[in-house]
Structure 1
Amino acid sequence: MTEVLVPKNLHYKWVALANTTAAVFMAALDGSIVLIALPAIFRGIGLNPLAPGNIGYLLWMIMGYRLVQAVFVVPLGRLGDMFGRVRIYNAGFAVFTLASILLSFDPFHGGGGAIWLIGWRMLQAVGGSMLMANSAAILTDAFPDDQRGFALGINQVAGLGGQFIGLVAGGILAIWDWRAVFWVNVPVGIFGTIWAYRNLRESGRRRRRARFDWWGNLTFAAGLSLLLIGITNGIHPYRDHAMGWTNPSVVVQLGLGIALLIAFAFIERQATEPMFSLELLRIRAFTAGNLAGFAARLGQGGLQFVLIIWLQGIWLPLHGYDYADTPLWAGIFMLPLTAGFLVAGPVSGHLSDRFGARGLATSGMLLYAASFIGLLALPIDFPYWAFAVMIAANGVGMGMFSSPNSSSIMSSVPPEHRGVASGMRATFQNSGTALSIGVFFSLMISGLASSLPASLSSGLQAHGVPADAAAQAAGLPPVSSLFAAILGVNPIGTILAPSGVLPTLSEADRQTLTGREFFPHLISAPFHDGLVVVFAVSAALGVLAALASLLRERR
């Protein structure tokens, strides 16, 4: 049984667009704003994240938010179909704002302070999931067919734009106070919550007598959580291994996660009112759009981290920037990527309303794939104009794809399924992003592990470091070097700090080792080998996304 609610105010659609755009921007911003502010955050709570045993805190600060979003968007979209999309969306604004307030009042230091932040960020991600799971459904309900692509395009621009603007905002706010990266959400959240409660109302169909699929929800949440937790822990060093893929607990987590997801598929086939509406996968445009979106995010999700490491660990130091300043400047130098997306997103959404999604989305993915080929051809110490052109093309390609693809997915499903369809779409995208980070980090770390230790040991000994201290430093997991670059600290100074050998070296050797050029030159060759693999895989995924996009109908 369904209920149809029609808005009385013809201007309601613009109110819905403005509010949901602010919400999606805020939720996406918070996924990346912390990344650049991590050095200030860990200094503020008095924790060295690169010390033995502490890398797990760093990984979960980065991955925890995305993991929760990937798991919860489908159940929360389903609840929106059952109890009202606006009701769940409004509650999400309130939860997100409350978590932001609690994050800024961390009363602990050290590991306790990190656990406080990780826990409340996960609650914040639940609020963000409530917003993102229902925002596309609210817009689809509010806008007619001939304006839906434009509206969803603006929403998509807000989401991906927020991710990259957060990189700059995090660097600026962290200079003032690390808590400011959480304070910034509070006034927006309070205003948005009040605005949403006062102005948004149900304008579509919902199921009055639908039942909640408990077994489906439990197996899905547990299976996807274990799978993503296993991938996150797989990046973590294990004993004398550079990564944790041989860790028995990681193997169990991955195996059990896959088994639960297989069980989930069987449960959904038998459920009378399933959480994950498998019948929607029979809709050609819905399935093609989600497959294309998953492949695109799988290629793009790790790009942010790879570019940050490239800029902060190599290019910026070689061009005279201090390591402490590289997080902010990395965000600034990546702005062409944001600009490309901001320009292409709304335009492609508007054009898709007139000409359909197939051609625009497919062309966007081909441009996206070509940009990775261009990045692959650049030298490690690239001319910035060439880098800016390539990442701008990447942003334009993703902008051309995202808006038409979302419009095609959401317009293809019956109105009463729009909440769960929006959640499924977000799950494919968020899962692709989380998997991408795990896959790309693994590719980079495996590449570094094969050549970096020998290069590091010989380079340190050439500048006066004793052989035993050089061997100890070279034996540290390569992930420490990558995370040092992300955190904007001097990698060699961090690696040699435990041995206490730096003060014993000559002034010339000490300055050379901790200067701006030693580490970038040391890591350039193995890092470039990893880049070739990463960008080649991303280009192939872009082509796969283009092929999936072609499977949808012409209109």
Structure 2
Amino acid sequence: MAAPLGPTPPKAHDGLPPRERVLAMAAISLAMTMAVLDGAIVNVALPVMAKDLAVPPSAAIFVVNGYQIAVTAALLPFASLGDILGYRRVYLSGLAVFVAASLACALSPNLSVLIAARIAQGLGAAGIMSVNIALVRFVYPNRMIGRGVGNVALVVAMASAAGPTVAAAILSVASWPWLFLVNLPVGLVALLVASRTLPVTPRSRARFDLPSALLNAVTFGLLIIGIDGLGEEAGRGVALAEIAGALAVGTVLVLYQLRLPVPLLPVDLLRIPAFALSMATSIASFGSQMIAYLALPFYLQDVLHLSETRTGFLMTPWPIAIALMAPISGRLSDRFPPGILGGIGLAVMAAGLTGLALLPAEPTTFDIVWRLTVCGFGFGMFQSPNNRVILTSAPRERSGGASGMQSTARLTGQSLGAAWVAVLFGLTHGTGAERAIAFSLWSAVALAVFGGVASVLRRQPEG
């Protein structure tokens, strides 16, 4: 009789057996797909939600911002809890909260309840995102970690690409609450499989640091709110004050962390050159990608006068190319230096962005598509090797902190990129969109080049 499936004990450090590995990755993939999708699909439904709940669009935006702030502020505290309690426990708890909050979102009678439910959903998503890469380190054997990281990158890319399409498809046949109700069957299946297959990981003897968690939440909460406010000229002074407050509280946080043997904000990991350079590379690359993602639709619609549908179609090659390249580069990173692979990938991405910045006045569809495809292939070549370095350059017992920092770097880069585009469009208001788009794309090129240089400078310790 075959042994029943169940959590693998902590002694199994070098990955799970093949069958359990496949099931564990299926559970991780389902949960990550939901978390990433719900960060994007609601944007499409905001106008419908605002009308149905009888609130102005400016108020409905908090449905998105509440989720984003909760995710960003909770990532590192939950990663720390993962080191203390075990990554499996934090992941399952986050998934359970996410599913329950999805039901609460669907049943929300008014905006206040919906925002509260979205904040709870963001906390659940943070539980999932904070330790997903750390779990990969225990699901896959050491020789296959790059492959596991590449599979996670593939899931994130596909979910990001599918977000607007999934939202449009659901809204074409059902009301907006179904955007959240679809999470229930998927989430329950993921919970069932994850509870039976995710490995039990070693726990640290550290205690959870509540003051650090509160300082972290204030720092990232103020930072995200301030960055979001930079796009509105009338409120830019308040936004700058919020960012200044975030920097002040963040300074206190860092100084406090330097005194701790196992800090919640893993500043000790930043003393590892490969880890620190990987963080810089990640922030720069995701900032570059977000700048292009936001600026290009304005180019396609305001300059070339294309429809929203065609704009969405033309933007699709980028995430598709990432999805195709991410698992390949993950496998390559198990055999070749990840820093070099990441540097090559960001050089390719910079070349594609340069091509977009130099598009002819009347480009053909092919002119646009091949450049976007080059950008996607470059980003896909970078992402998996970079995540592999982040994970393996940290000590095994600090995998949770490394995983939390990886997700925090991604969200920070995306937020900074979005803010930069908003500022550029605000400064060039009234002079035409072309200047803001050009500045944005060349800024994206510069960030990609910076990230590529940081990548090739890494020297990752083996083992």
Same fold (TM over 0.5): yes
Letter matched to residue 198 of structure 1? R
1:552 and 2:458 correspond: yes
Report the Cα offset of residue 36 of structure 1.
2.3
Q: 3-state DSSP class of the match of 2:40?
A: helix
Equivalence for 1:191: 189
Cα distance between partner residues in 2 of 1:538 and 1:378: 15
Letter matched to residue 349 of structure 2? Y
**Gap change, CA 1:372 and 1:10, over 3 Å in 2:** closer
1:361 and 2:342 correspond: yes
The 5-angstrom pairing of residues 234-245 of structure 1 reads 234-238=230-234, 244-245=235-236
Equivalence for 1:15: 23
Equivalence for 2:81: 79
Deviations 1:411-443 (A, max 9, x none): 111111001110011111111111221221121
Q: Which has the larger radius of gyration?
A: 1
Cα distance between partner residues in 2 of 1:549 and 1:332: 32
CA RMSD of aligned residues (A): 2.1
Among 539, 542, 546, the alignment partner of 2:448 is 542
Cα distance between partner residues in 2 of 1:129 and 1:5: 27
Q: 3-state DSSP class of the match of 1:206?
A: coil
Equivalence for 1:65: 67
The 5-angstrom pairing of residues 468-547 of structure 1 reads 526-547=432-453
Cα distance between partner residues in 1 of 2:161 and 2:126: 19
**Count of residues paired in the alignment:** 450
**Gap change, CA 1:119 and 1:312, over 3 Å in 2:** farther
Among 47, 51, 55, the alignment partner of 1:43 is 51
**Kept after mapping to 2: 8 A contact 1:32/1:164:** no
Among 206, 211, 216, the alignment partner of 1:215 is 211
The 5-angstrom pairing of residues 94-105 of structure 1 reads 94-105=96-107
Equivalence for 2:271: 282
Equivalence for 1:457: none
Among 149, 152, 157, the alignment partner of 1:152 is 149
**Kept after mapping to 2: 8 A contact 1:344/1:396:** yes
1:378 and 2:359 correspond: yes
Equivalence for 2:6: none
**Kept after mapping to 2: 8 A contact 1:78/1:275:** yes
Cα distance between partner residues in 2 of 1:200 and 1:545: 34
**Gap change, CA 1:258 and 1:8, over 3 Å in 2:** closer
Among 254, 258, 262, the alignment partner of 1:265 is 254
Q: 3-state DSSP class of the match of 1:190?
A: helix
Among 182, 191, 195, the alignment partner of 2:180 is 182
**Kept after mapping to 2: 8 A contact 1:137/1:418:** yes
Cα distance between partner residues in 2 of 1:131 and 1:156: 14
Equivalence for 1:482: none
**Kept after mapping to 2: 8 A contact 1:24/1:158:** yes
Q: 3-state DSSP class of the match of 2:207?
A: coil
**Kept after mapping to 1: 8 A contact 2:105/2:114:** yes
Among 380, 390, 397, the alignment partner of 1:416 is 397
The runs of 5 or more residues in structure 2 that have no matched partner are 1-8
**Kept after mapping to 1: 8 A contact 2:10/2:199:** no
Report the Cα offset of residue 380 of structure 1.
6.7
Cα distance between partner residues in 2 of 1:272 and 1:339: 43
**Kept after mapping to 2: 8 A contact 1:145/1:411:** no
Letter matched to residue 414 of structure 1? P
1:225 and 2:216 correspond: no
**Segment drifting more, 31-40 vs 6-15:** 6-15
**Kept after mapping to 2: 8 A contact 1:30/1:163:** no
Equivalence for 1:466: none
Q: 3-state DSSP class of the match of 2:451?
A: helix
Among 412, 419, 442, the alignment partner of 1:438 is 419
The runs of 5 or more residues in structure 1 that have no matched partner are 50-54, 239-243, 452-525
Cα distance between partner residues in 1 of 2:88 and 2:242: 36
**Gap change, CA 1:302 and 1:127, over 3 Å in 2:** farther
Q: 3-state DSSP class of the match of 1:205?
A: coil
Deviations 1:98-117 (A, max 9, x none): 11111112312xxxx2x433
Equivalence for 1:123: 120
Cα distance between partner residues in 2 of 1:39 and 1:538: 30
Report the Cα offset of residue 408 of structure 1.
1.3
**Kept after mapping to 1: 8 A contact 2:291/2:444:** no
**Segment drifting more, 530-539 vs 303-312:** 303-312
Letter matched to residue 531 of structure 1? I
Cα distance between partner residues in 2 of 1:546 and 1:553: 14
Cα distance between partner residues in 1 of 2:59 and 2:172: 25
**Gap change, CA 1:117 and 1:397, over 3 Å in 2:** farther
Q: 3-state DSSP class of the match of 1:245?
A: helix
Q: 3-state DSSP class of the match of 1:201?
A: coil
**Gap change, CA 1:387 and 1:119, over 3 Å in 2:** farther
Deviations 1:181-232 (A, max 9, x none): 2222222112111221232231x3221x211122222212111211221222
**Kept after mapping to 2: 8 A contact 1:293/1:405:** yes
Cα distance between partner residues in 1 of 2:71 and 2:362: 36
Report the Cα offset of residue 332 of structure 1.
3.0
Cα distance between partner residues in 1 of 2:197 and 2:186: 16
Deviations 1:361-404 (A, max 9, x none): 11111111112111111257532221111111111111101101
Letter matched to residue 281 of structure 1? L
Cα distance between partner residues in 1 of 2:16 and 2:282: 35
Cα distance between partner residues in 1 of 2:218 and 2:209: 14
**Kept after mapping to 1: 8 A contact 2:295/2:441:** no
**Segment drifting more, 167-176 vs 127-136:** 167-176
Deviations 1:48-77 (A, max 9, x none): 42xxxxx3533x344433332222111111
